Amino acid sequence: MTSSNTATMAVARNYKDYGSALWKRIILTREGAVFAALILVIIIASVTVKHFAAPITATYLLLDIAPILLIALPMTLVIITGEIDLSVASTAALASVTLGTLHQAGMPLELAALVAIIVGALAGALNGFLITVVGLPSLAVTIGTLALYRGLAVGFLGTTAVTDFTEFWKDLAKSKIGGSAIPSVVILIAVLAVAFAILLHFTQFGRGIYAIGLSPEAARFSGVRVERTKFILFVMSGSVSALAGIFYTLRFSSARGDNQTGLELSVIAAVLLGGVSIFGGRGALHGVLAGVLLIGTLGSALRLASVTSDVINIITGTLLVASVVSTSVLAWIRSKRSRPGGKKPETAAATKS
C-alpha cells in the first residue's frame, strides 16, 4: 500500500500533484519524510545502540505499540473529517473491565470479548449521537466521555483487577508468527490496516471523509452524507478501541479501570506526526502507520541507550512539535506566495529555482 495509495490520495488534494514525476509524488511527500525518518532511525540505532539490532527488539516494540497502531486506524479517519475522539483510551479501559468482569462471572472469554466490543461500539455510538444528532463539537463531547467512560471503568472494578484469563487467549496475545520475531497481533493489525486503507483511499465513503474534512458544506451539497459518515466513524473508533483494550488486557493478564490511561494522546500524536492535518481533509493511512512506528522505534532505541523516560518524552515531544510546526510554516510560505496580489509570478518562480 504505497504507490497506489499516494496516487489516490492526490485525488483528494489537488490535480496539480499529477504534474510532477511519479517517484516525486511518492517519495517527496509528508508521508515519505516520515518513512525516511523511520528508516534513518532504524539504521542509526542498529549501528550505534547496542542490542537494538536484535529480532527481540521488534517483538517487544510491536507488542508495545500494537494498541496504538490499532486505535490510530479509525482515529486517522476521524481526524481527516476534522473531528477528534479523545475517549478512545477510556473506551479501551471500559472494554477491558467489561471483559474482566464478565469472564470472572463465568462467561466464556470469546463471548465476553464480543460483549466488550459491543460495549465499545455503543460508547462510540454515544459519541457519534451527541456529535451528529445533537450537533455538539467532538472535542467537547469526547472530553466528557473520556471522563465518563473512565469513571465507569474504574467504578466497576474499583482498585481491584481481574487477572485470571483463559491460557489459550493469553498465550495467543503474546505469541509470535511461527518461528519469527513478529508477534501474531501484527496479523490482526495488518488485516485491519488493509481494510481501513481500502475504505479510506478506494471507496466513495473514503472520498466523502476527505470532502467533509475540506469543507463539510461543500461535501453536503455534493451528496456526501456528512452525519452518517461521522457517526459510522465514531462507532468504528469505539469498536477498534475496545479491541485494543481486549488485546492489552490479555497481553498483561490484567483488567483494570485505569488501564491505558493517557493512550489517546499517544495515538493522536502519532496520527499527526504521520501527516494527518488536525484541521481535517489531509492525510494518508500509510503515513500514520509510519508515524506510530517512528515514535515507537525512537522510544525503543532511546530506552536501549539508557536514556531516561523524561528525556525520551522531551525528545518525542520536540519531534512532534517540530513536525507540526514545519507543516504549518511550509503551508504559510505556500499561501503567502500564492496570495493574489502578492509577488509577481515571475519573481516567485525565479527565487524558487
Partner 1 sequence: MLFQNLTRSSGARRVGAVAALTLSVALIATGCASTETPGETGGDANLAITFVPKNLGNAYFDTSDKGGADAIAEFGGTYDEQAPAEGSPDGQVSFINTLTQQQVGGLVVSANDPTAICDALNEARESGIKVVTFDSDTDAECRDIFINQATGEGIAKIQVDLIAEQIGDEGEIAILSATANATNQNAWIELIKADLAANHPNIKLVDVVYGDDDDQTSFDKTAALLQTYPNLKGIISPTTVGIAAAARYLQTSDFKGKVALTGLGTPNQMRDYVTDGTVTAFALWNPADLGYLAAYAAKALIEGDITGAEGDEFDGGKLGKYTVGENGTVLLGDPYTFNADNIADFNF
Q: State the nearest-atom distance from the C-beta of 253 to partner 1, in Å.
A: 5
The answer to the question of residue 182 lying near partner 1 (CB under 8 A) is no
The answer to the question of residue 16 lying near partner 1 (CB under 8 A) is yes
State the burial class of residue 17 (Cβ atoms within 10 Å of its Cβ: 0-12, 13-18, 19+). middle
The smaller minimum CB distance to partner 1, of residues 32 and 74, is found at 32
| 324 CB-near residues (< 8 Å, 6+ apart) | 272, 278
The smaller minimum CB distance to partner 1, of residues 195 and 265, is found at 265
The answer to the question of residue 12 lying near partner 1 (CB under 8 A) is no
For the chain, helix, strand, coil in percent to 5 are 75, 0, 25
Q: Which of residues 54-73 bind partner 1 (CB under 8 A)?
A: 54, 56-57, 60, 64
| 294 CB-near residues (< 8 Å, 6+ apart) | 34, 37, 38, 41, 270, 273
The answer to the question of residue 136 lying near partner 1 (CB under 8 A) is no
The answer to the question of residue 308 lying near partner 1 (CB under 8 A) is yes
The smaller minimum CB distance to partner 1, of residues 231 and 248, is found at 248
Q: Give CA torsion, residues 9, 10, 14, 16, to 10 deg.
A: 170
How is residue 122 written as a grid cell? Answer: 455503543
The answer to the question of residue 254 lying near partner 1 (CB under 8 A) is yes
348 CB neighbour count, 10 Å cutoff: 13
DSSP state of 106: T
The smaller minimum CB distance to partner 1, of residues 120 and 257, is found at 257
Stretch that binds partner 1, among 18-26, 92-100, 124-132, 133-141 (CB under 8 A): 18-26
Q: How many residues bind partner 1 (CB under 8 A)?
A: 70
How is residue 191 written as a grid cell? Answer: 488485516
Q: Applying CB under 8 A, which of residues 178, 262, 340, 341 lies at the interface with partner 1?
A: 262
